[in-house]
Amino acid sequence: MLDGSPPRTPLVQMDNIFKQFGGIHAVEGVSADLFPGEVVGVLGHNGAGKSCLMRILSGAMAATRGEIYVNGHEAILKSPQDARKYGIETIYQTLALANHLDAPANLFMGRELKTRFGNLDERRMLKEATEALHQLNPNFKNLRDPVAKLSGGQRQVIAIARAIYFQAKILIMDEPTAALGPSETAMVADLTVRLKKEGIGIFLISHDMHDVFELCDRVMVMNKGRNVGSFRIEDVNKDDILSLIIKGTLPDDWTPRGGAT
């Protein structure tokens, strides 16, 4: 590196990832990386391959070929459970919450705490959930209500708290502010900034340009299964990003906005 400091090891390095469905190339030779305390926006039209790429990282889908490294070591991700062992958690747009269960039950769903007799330790789960949720939102109430009765912002807090409680280091956030009102959108943005400061790396899938330019350090754009551009956020503007999304290329007269060479 130019300043003489040793190169940093990425939290995640995806190297030459391919995904084929028969003759369809959903992801074609894509490489991407993510560093601690960084938010990387992953953009593109529906069908561009961005969600497929992130599902491969989450363990929900196997790559046809390519390698994934976590903290410099090759990671074999055959399931979401494998991904969690590497500190990779996903917050989907649909949130994957059980509407009929309360906040503690959702936070510990599939990883319930047990007493020494093997029974559900509901008292401890309520205590731990209360602490985890109040760290993110001190005003969080109604922990014992079914989550179907909670606001979209409260549901998003539960999903984020679940990831953080189980020590996620790499977070995939899929349209985290979709269908939220302005105040709840601002709250999720604030939480994202706090997670960055704690050294968590975030891949942010979003169609919201305001979110992208407010929260992201870098952006990568996918078009027809390929990574058609990766840039520092200060080197591009919204028109540049839209050109990449729509045409797969930058405007003809493009120069780095931030003065990079």
SS3 of 23-81: the string is CEEEEEEEEEEECCCCEEEEECCCCCCHHHHHHHHHCCCCCCEEEEEECCEECCCCCHH
CB distance 199 to 36 below 8 Å: yes
4, part of any domain: no
Provide the pairing of β-strand 65-70 with 73-74: antiparallel
Q: Is residue 10 part of a domain?
A: no
Q: How many domains does the chain have?
A: 1
Q: What is the mean pLDDT of residues 78-107?
A: 88
pLDDT of the residue at 251: 87
Residue 8 lies in a domain: no
* pLDDT tens sequence across 182-207: 888 888 888 899 999 999 999 999 88
Overall average pLDDT of the 130-135 stretch: 92
The pLDDT of residue 178 is above 90: no
Nearest CA among 225, 229, 234 for reference residue 256: 234
Largest CA distance in the chain: 69
Domain limits for position 216: 25-247
Q: Is residue 5 part of a domain?
A: no
pTM of the model: 0.89
pLDDT bucket at 1, cuts 50 / 70 / 90 = very low
Q: Confidence band (pLDDT; 50, 70, 90) for 259?
A: low
pLDDT at 188: 86
CATH number of the structural domain spanning residue 82: 3.40.50.300
pLDDT at residue 234, as a whole number:
94
Top mean-pLDDT range of 141-145, 161-165, 226-230:
226-230
Band (pLDDT 50/70/90 cuts) for residue 261 is very low
Q: Using CA atoms, how far apart are residues 162 and 80, in angstroms rounded to an integer?
A: 14
- The mean pLDDT value for 202-219 works out to 93
Q: How far apart are CA 108 and CA 126, in angstroms?
A: 10
